[in-house]
């Protein structure tokens, strides 16, 4: 194979209507990545990205805008394990999900929607995807999130974050609460509904983090209807039982950030 002087590649930060980010696990590298790949002969940049996303994840997207241009001059090897590959010029785009169901491919072993905020609050993710941080125009995403934190009420509707893998969702939610504990300005309150009340029980590791947040003076409240529905009043380790009326009062006064 005769290589050109450089290779042009495209990748995309794809978001759905619920501010989830699409991630795929590479079958070759066994690492989580954004969708993307090499622009083929006869394709323009948008066509190449839409094709790569479809091939790797099964979904259809629209390209919103160019977010960054990067170059990689380090020596890499082709899939055959022998042939050296020339430097890459990579163009990153912001994309919107349009349709389709998640599926794996020959190139991917897992495909998931991951809450964008939990990604941006995770230091390891930010190191792995610096382009995502730049796409968000946040050099310090955790710091950006903390601005105005005292003006927010967190509505916790689940004991794991996201609709895909439950174990991954629990890890993401625990990471979020761990970082939340470290913020100089905590939220105005945390209100738990639906399965969120299960995070307050003795059997959940999340209750330890929520108890520490509560000890800082943050009201951690549990919907009485939900507590009664799951029958967990006797096993609450953190939080106090409250009412829908109290949540409406908080929602009228503060910005509500929902975790589903």
pLDDT of residue 166: 77
User: Distance between CA 260 and CA 228 in Å, rounded?
Assistant: 20
Judge whether residue 143 has pLDDT over 70: no
Of residues 242, 247, 186, the one with CA closest to residue 212:
186
pLDDT at residue 183 above 50? Answer: yes
Closest CA to 173 of 186, 187, 159, 184: 159
How many whole angstroms separate alpha carbon 184 and alpha carbon 223? 27
Q: Are 175 and 118 in contact (CB under 8 A)?
A: yes
Least confident range of 32-36, 98-102, 112-116, 128-132: 128-132
Is residue 198's pLDDT more than 90?
Answer: yes
pLDDT(13) > 70: yes
Do 190 and 218 touch, CB atoms closer than 8 A? yes
What are the tens digits of pLDDT across the range 107-134?
Answer: 999 999 988 766 655 544 554 455 555 5
Q: What residues does 115 pair with on adjacent strands? A: 20
The DSSP 8-state label assigned to residue 19 in this structure reads: S
pLDDT exceeds 50 at position 139? no
Residue 70: band (very low, low, confident or very high) from pLDDT cuts 50, 70, 90: confident
pTM above 0.95, yes or no: no
What SS3 state is found at 239? coil
Name the more confident of 45 and 5: 45
Does the annotation mark 183 as catalytic? no
More confident residue, 139 or 44: 44
pLDDT in tens, 152-167: 899 999 998 877 677 7
Phi, psi of 216 (to 5 degrees): -85, 0
Residue 63 has pLDDT above 70, yes or no: yes
DSSP string, 49-70: HHHHHHHHHS-EEEEEEEEEEE
The more confident residue out of 132 and 203 is 203
Question: In this predicted model, which residue has the larger pLDDT, 217 or 163?
Answer: 217
Confidence at residue 146, expressed as pLDDT on a 0 to 100 scale: 45
Lowest mean pLDDT, pick from 135-144, 204-213, 247-256: 135-144
Mean pLDDT of the chain: 83
pLDDT confidence of residue 141: 42
Q: What's the average model confidence in pLDDT over 129-149? A: 49
Question: Active-site residue among 43, 55, 110, 144?
Answer: 110
145 confidence band (pLDDT: 50, 70, 90): very low
For position 117, what pLDDT does the model report?
Answer: 63
């Amino acid at each position: 194979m005769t290589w050109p002087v450089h290779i042009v590649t495209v990748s995309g930060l794809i978001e759905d209507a619920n501010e989830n980010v699409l991630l795929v696990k590479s079958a070759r590298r066994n690492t989580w990545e954004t969708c993307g790949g090499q622009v083929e002969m006869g394709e323009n940049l948008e066509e190449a990205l839409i094709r790569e996303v479809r091939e790797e994840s099964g979904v259809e997207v629209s390209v919103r805008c160019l977010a960054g241009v990067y170059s990689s001059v380090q020596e890499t090897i082709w899939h055959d394990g022998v042939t050296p590959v020339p430097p890459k010029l990579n163009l990153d785009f912001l994309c919107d999900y349009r349709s389709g169901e998640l599926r794996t491919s020959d190139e991917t072993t897992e495909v998931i929607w991951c809450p964008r905020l939990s990604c941006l609050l995770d230091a390891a993710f930010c190191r792995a995807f610096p382009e995502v941080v730049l796409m968000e125009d946040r050099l310090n995403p955790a710091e950006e999130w903390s601005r105005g934190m005292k003006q927010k009420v967190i509505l916790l509707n689940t004991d794991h974050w996201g609709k895909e893998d439950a174990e991954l969702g629990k890890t993401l939610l625990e990471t979020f609460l761990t970082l939340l504990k470290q913020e100089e300005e905590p939220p105005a309150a945390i209100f738990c509904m639906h399965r969120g009340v299960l995070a307050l029980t003795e059997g959940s590791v999340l209750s330890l983090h929520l108890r520490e947040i509560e000890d800082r003076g943050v009201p951690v409240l549990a919907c009485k209807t939900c507590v009664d529905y799951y029958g967990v009043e006797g096993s609450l380790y953190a939080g106090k039982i409250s009412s829908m009326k109290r949540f409406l009062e908080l929602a009228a006064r503060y910005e509500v950030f929902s975790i589903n």
